[in-house]
Amino acid sequence: MFVSRLAIASSVLALSLFTPVRAQDAKDSKDSKDNPAAKLLNRDIPRHKEFLKITAKGEGDVIFIGDSITHGWEGAGKKAWADNFASFKPVNLGIGGDQTGHVLWRLTEGKEIEPLKPKLAVIMIGTNNTGAHTPEQIAGGIKAIVAELQKQKPDIKVLILGVFPRASGLKKEDTVAPADKLNPKIKAINDIISKYADDKKVFYKDIGPKFLDKDGGLDRKIMPDLLHLSPAGYDIWAAAIKEDLEKLTK
């Protein structure tokens, strides 16, 4: 009788310990399912198919995941990429126009990283969601990307970069976007995603201020269209994270 009661007590204790975890997992799953920024968006386009050929080789210690700003390492950022990242065996998985949902499709249905064993993923995504989604939804989409990376590659480290500043509503002759013209959603997104870091497997860094002048303005010398980076902008980006890559790939 004593043994039976002890077994029942042990079972109750186990349930009380593990139920909250399962409840949180269920909540996260529901939140992701209901979040439009975490809905898979098909990205079966030629650039995705090129990625599959590249990743099929199984080479790449660091993967850069993002939209046109990441894609731009192959354009305005080409020299900075070669000068700063070549030793990391980097793979550029940026596609212009991508939202968080496109990235999720590429990682899941698109199987872009399946052949790889990356040490680190650098994520910079979310700016293309700002027109249709709330900061909370966008942050949720980024969280879903991190979760998917960890699901597929349990040993991977993830460096989440704060979404870069952007501005609009200026004339072409205006060379600097003042601080009050910067998109306010960016800060709201970054305030949320900064909390995803555990500094063990997931890390966060906001390098956005490095693109701004002393008054918090955004100069066209850094972002000619107040969104995409110039070569000087990519130099800033590379310098800002190179040391992080060195630490996180050891």
Q: Which residues are the active-site residues? A: 68, 225, 228
Residues 70-99, buried b or exposed e (16+ Cβ, 10 A)? bbbbeebbeebbeebbeebebbbbbbeebb
Residue found under tokens 């966060």:
204
Q: Which of 14, 118, 144 shows the shortest CA–CA distance to 61? A: 118
Could you tell me the sign of the dihedral formed by the alpha carbons of 20, 25, 28, 34, in that order? negative
DSSP label at 215?
T
| Cα separation of the two ends of the chain | 55
Three-class SS state of 211: helix
> Could you tell me whether strands 157-161 and 62-66 are parallel, antiparallel, or unpaired per DSSP bridges?
unpaired
Q: DSSP strand E in 46-200: where?
A: 62-66, 90-94, 120-124, 157-161, 176-177
Helices (H), strands (E): how many in the chain? 8, 7
Which run of H or of E encompasses 133?
A: none
Q: Which of 81, 116, 37 shows the shortest CA–CA distance to 229? A: 81
Three-class SS state of 20: helix
DSSP bridge partners of 103? none
